[in-house]
């Protein structure tokens, strides 16, 4: 009669062992899934940060080009270095394509802008639309982002004739 209680106790030990292993397996799956999801999320955030920095690098080069008379002799700029974090190391290289005049329309007789432009009357003013395309490359990873931006510029008749053929 002593054998029956011992067998029952051994069976409970096996069931307990089986349930413990099952719970350990479930916890391992949950931890692995959580780790995978957090790693994927971290990569997504990192990629978005690099993309936003690359767009900022393109904007910096486009704004630099807009600061001068880009319409007098439109030209491409290759491998313009940009240091986003100001640590003295080039973070991105920007290739700015040749600005393209995509549209030119003579200004209406109303004021072209609230700023008085020297030597420009409303009868000789042309509203031009320019397209800038910049390709930004991360030299470390080789990843590229293309940024296309349109800009409006008010030009005189002679400036328009030279740059917007």
Give the bridge partners for 152, in sequence order.
129
Q: The domain containing residue 47 runs over which residues?
A: 3-163
Task: From residue 36, give the alpha-carbon distance in Å to each of 31, 47, 139.
Answer: 9, 17, 28
Domain count, the chain: 1
Structure tokens at 73: 């002799």
| Residue with token string 């329309």 | 105
pTM comes to 0.69
Rounded CA-CA distance 23/125 in Å is 78
Q: For 74-121, how does the pLDDT look when each residue is reduced to its tens digit (9 = 90+)?
A: 888 999 999 998 899 999 999 999 999 999 988 874 444 555 555 555
pLDDT the model gives residue 110? 46
Which band of pLDDT confidence, cut at 50, 70 and 90, is reported for residue 143? confident
Q: For 9-65, how does the pLDDT look when each residue is reduced to its tens digit (9 = 90+)?
A: 567 788 889 999 999 999 999 999 999 999 999 988 988 988 999 999 999 999 999
């Amino acid at each position: 009669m002593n054998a029956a209680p011992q067998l029952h106790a051994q069976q409970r030990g096996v069931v307990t062992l089986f349930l413990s292993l099952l719970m350990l397996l479930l916890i391992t799956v949950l931890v692995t899934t959580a780790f995978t999801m957090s790693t994927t999320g971290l990569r997504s955030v990192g990629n978005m940060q690099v993309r936003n920095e690359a767009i900022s690098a393109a904007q910096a080069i486009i704004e630099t080009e807009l600061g001068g008379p880009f319409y007098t002799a439109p030209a491409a700029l290759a491998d313009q270095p940009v240091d986003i974090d100001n640590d003295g190391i080039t973070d991105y290289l920007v290739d700015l394509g040749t600005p393209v005049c995509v549209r030119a329309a003579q200004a209406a007789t109303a004021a072209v802008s609230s700023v008085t432009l020297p030597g420009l009357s409303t009868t000789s003013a042309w509203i031009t639309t320019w397209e800038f395309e910049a390709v930004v490359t991360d030299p470390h990873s080789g990843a590229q982002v293309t940024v296309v931006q349109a800009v409006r510029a008010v030009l005189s008749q002679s400036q328009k004739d030279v740059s917007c053929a």
